Amino acid sequence: MSIRMIAATLCLVLFGACGDDGAGGAGPGSSPTPTFRKGTAIIETDGGAVMVEIEVADSPEQQALGLMHRESLPDDAGMVFLFFDDTQGGFWMKDTLIPLSIAFFDQRGEILKILDMEPCEADPCETYAPGVSYRGALEVNQSAFDEWGVEQGDIIRISP
């Protein structure tokens, strides 16, 4: 990810989190307005397939908002972030209220790295980067991948 793309994403996150002008910002007590399309992720593990109901964040605005300001996430749910090109940037948890795990995957859907991420209410927030190029990332409740037996090398398939 280029410095310009990182800067643009950070600007979107900062302005989206701070303002509530009725045009997509989310302030305290308000709910985010972007609509995420729904889909399903099937994760092929050694122990069998795992199905996760997902919201898809594929625009820069949706990716900047992600799961910010949410107080909970259903046990079998998550959010997937899809990128057209190989990406190397990290994720951060600014204004994200729930602990999450994230699986970074390549163009074929192979999981390259899984990380646990902690909520962050105030800057500076830690950045969680996989250290490899990836095409997508799936966020779920923290420890869900462990509970489902999902590991590096497993395959994620996304269906609209």
> Tell me: the pLDDT tens digits for 87-107?
999 999 999 999 999 999 999
Instruction: Enter the pTM of the model.
Output: 0.80
Domains contained in the chain, CATH given: 3-159 (2.60.120.1140)
Which of 14-28, 30-44, 93-107, 145-159 shows the lowest mean pLDDT across its residues?
Answer: 14-28
Which of 7-21, 58-72, 84-98, 100-114 shows the lowest mean pLDDT across its residues?
Answer: 7-21
Give me the pLDDT at residue 27, please: 43
Contacts 24+ apart (CB under 8 A), 36-39: 36/62, 36/79, 37/160, 39/80, 39/158, 39/159, 39/160
Give me the pLDDT at residue 33, please: 61
Instruction: Say whether 124 sits in a helix, a strand or coil.
Output: coil
